[in-house]
Structure 1
């Protein structure tokens, strides 16, 4: 009788979903203390790495249930109101099951659908790397508190080796699992490395399953790869134009010198502001020898942008659409700032993302 009842319930659920057009259920079971009134929030991770709210449900006795329609598999995250952390999963057609402790959502067990099985396989495969990384962080913090420079340097070297291990693991996973949605995210992560091997990433993308290449996330990745190749060292820098602080349009082609530094930055970017004094020093030293700088701000507020220019003494030319990571950033495949490109007098990119002493050394080499 119990088996028959379960079968009838399954048929009823399927029929109900068919009538409403729903094709997925996401059921979660949580362990631990959950404050009364806590809600579970389902958010889509967009191809631009924004979090877009999809649905919110009440948690009852540690359980929650989302139902809806998903056309193609996409990365989503579930968060709990008032609690830290989140649970990444692939939302797709089927019955997805999640089991987790509220204080460690990142280590949830996810199953019930093909893409989430692949995601779980990836997480399990890199678990030892994550554990070692956490251990290194604790050791480095201890060494830093003791001002143990020798151990700090050794731990940095080990951390660099661990990053290489992770890069190799991710590369192997993408090669072996071309049908996985997570493989697209791994390629996008590789692309953010300033020293990324674009040719290798393009080859890995070409090897993805056709069903994955048609997703919106993969199409954005394809554009990013193309833009990355377009702005590789040795390529002609794409021209663009945007408003100056005074409101006039200025094109890159109109702002070039013997050597031109295109500097992507923003008033809200602390590393950018920390690097600005170095850029000011380089500019003052080499502007009379032919160095030009065009600052491209990714600010969202024009007043903040203009104030930062004045406060930091940035005397070169500036442009901004005041639209965060806008079309110019996408054209140059800029996913994080500071980012910069050094161009020769013909607009050919000869170096990228140099900072501090490396930037000055390169400019000194080009403008002796």
Structure 2
């Protein structure tokens, strides 16, 4: 009896200690998420964590009969999350340790967000993206409905103009958001926004905005995994821009054209430098590109017109398949020097010659020095008409 009483007493004391421990749990490293789903009937609300290159589910909750839910998760640092229920997906939201966020979801998981260090202010910006996407969807439907009408061309032009205006206004809002909130981790989401599945900021033309955001993130959130990933991306972009600038300096008129050494239709390697003594057009194209195939006819006319006066063509194709390249040469009757790079769009020649689209044209003189670059066969034809005799006489 003595041992039984003491055993029961020990159990009681342990229970009290456990209860007190639970009541005193420190939730400073946790995120508390609560809210409601309008029109909720059944199913689980799944919470996903966004990693640097993917996303994965980390918890779930089943709302009560009124659609109310509450969820608490422990986190190691700030990050990005989203909810999913069936096929419905919420927008991504930022959350920090200690945040308490309230969500008012509609049936498709569009939400009004309150609370949190950044979630509420970012939600205001993301609602603008949602509105823009709704407008884009409406314009797309109008254009599709008109595709068989006599006014389709006019409607499409109007639609394209409206698309560009929406994107322009949204980009200005994004820039203003970053300028007004320089310390936010959410700027990663802003710079990567894709309304209507189209990038808002393009790395090629908007790289300065990427560099600004990278500098701000390094200042305020250095050490965060998302910031580290974005920093690596920004550094790759910096290196690419620097390489492009260096390449452009090497492609100025008067510079020696970079060497090209590739196999021709017979498989034998041909070198650009082995074809001296003529004014040569380096013609970049690809057999699978409609504009290139159309341009072939124009280049053939120029070749026939000027070849007797010392004009040559050194055509460089970018196709992974030699057979397709050879067939295109024979089908289009391209009887000049033809070579092909089976690396295709991964060819280093594209960066060396700064080729961003096909077809592209670089004219070099008899010594292999660059005379001029052209973006169309029509521009090339006009230049040759006005200048070929002068250049050939040198």
Relative to the length of structure 2, the TM-score reads 0.59
Specify whether residues 202 and 132 from structure 1 end up closer, same or farther in structure 2 by C-alpha distance, changes over 3 A only.
same
2:215 aligned with 1:211 = no
Residue from 173, 176, 181 that aligns with 1:177: 181
Deviation at 1:163, TM superposition (A): 1.2
Deviation at 1:281, TM superposition (A): 4.8
Deviation at 1:78, TM superposition (A): 0.6
Q: Take 1:160 and 1:342, find their aligned partners in 2: how far apart are those partners?
A: 33
> What runs of 5+ residues in structure 2 fail to find an aligned partner?
1-19, 194-198, 249-259, 264-270, 273-281, 300-312, 327-339, 364-372, 381-394
Residue from 42, 48, 54 that aligns with 1:43: 48
Aligned to 2:81: 76
2:122 aligned with 1:119 = yes
Deviation at 1:14, TM superposition (A): 7.0
> What runs of 5+ residues in structure 1 fail to find an aligned partner?
1-10, 238-252, 264-274, 296-308, 320-337
Specify whether residues 262 and 92 from structure 1 end up closer, same or farther in structure 2 by C-alpha distance, changes over 3 A only.
farther
Aligned to 2:316: 291
> Contact 1:44–1:77 (CA<8 Å) still a contact in 2?
yes
Specify whether residues 72 and 136 from structure 1 end up closer, same or farther in structure 2 by C-alpha distance, changes over 3 A only.
same
Q: Take 1:64 and 1:254, find their aligned partners in 2: how far apart are those partners?
A: 65
Matched residue count: 285
Aligned to 1:15: 24
Q: Take 1:340 and 1:161, find their aligned partners in 2: how far apart are those partners?
A: 34
Aligned to 2:70: 65
Larger radius of gyration: 2
| Matches for 1:215-226 after TM superposition, within 5 Å | 215-226=224-235
Tell me how large the CA RMSD over aligned residues is.
4.2
Deviation at 1:193, TM superposition (A): 2.1
Specify whether residues 123 and 294 from structure 1 end up closer, same or farther in structure 2 by C-alpha distance, changes over 3 A only.
same
Q: Take 1:351 and 1:43, find their aligned partners in 2: how far apart are those partners?
A: 40
> Contact 1:28–1:64 (CA<8 Å) still a contact in 2?
yes
Greater RCO, CA 8 A, separation 6+: 1
Q: Take 1:255 and 1:214, find their aligned partners in 2: how far apart are those partners?
A: 46
Specify whether residues 144 and 282 from structure 1 end up closer, same or farther in structure 2 by C-alpha distance, changes over 3 A only.
closer
> Contact 1:89–1:110 (CA<8 Å) still a contact in 2?
no
Residue from 236, 252, 256 that aligns with 1:227: 236
Deviation at 1:183, TM superposition (A): 0.9
Aligned to 1:240: none
| Matches for 1:1-368 after TM superposition, within 5 Å | 15-18=24-27, 23-35=30-42, 38-48=43-53, 50-61=54-65, 62-81=67-86, 83-93=87-97, 94-103=99-108, 105=109, 107-126=110-129, 129-144=132-147, 146=149, 148-189=152-193, 193=202, 195-208=204-217, 210-232=219-241, 233-235=244-246, 276-278=288-290, 281=293, 289=314, 291=316, 293=318, 313=324, 343=349, 348-352=352-356, 354=357, 359-362=358-361
Secondary structure, counterpart of 1:54 in structure 2: strand
Q: Take 2:58 and 2:217, find their aligned partners in 1: how far apart are those partners?
A: 28
Specify whether residues 180 and 341 from structure 1 end up closer, same or farther in structure 2 by C-alpha distance, changes over 3 A only.
farther
Q: Take 2:111 and 2:163, find their aligned partners in 1: how far apart are those partners?
A: 26
Q: Take 1:64 and 1:314, find their aligned partners in 2: how far apart are those partners?
A: 61
Q: Take 1:262 and 1:192, find their aligned partners in 2: how far apart are those partners?
A: 28
Q: Take 2:134 and 2:345, find their aligned partners in 1: how far apart are those partners?
A: 31
Deviations 1:309-337 (A, max 9, x none): 69x94675556xxxxxxxxxxxxxxxxxx
> Contact 1:28–1:99 (CA<8 Å) still a contact in 2?
yes
> Contact 1:115–1:180 (CA<8 Å) still a contact in 2?
yes
Secondary structure, counterpart of 1:231 in structure 2: helix
Deviation at 1:135, TM superposition (A): 3.5
Q: Take 1:12 and 1:260, find their aligned partners in 2: how far apart are those partners?
A: 76
Deviations 1:226-247 (A, max 9, x none): 212322333459xxxxxxxxxx
Aligned to 1:272: none
> Contact 1:75–1:88 (CA<8 Å) still a contact in 2?
yes
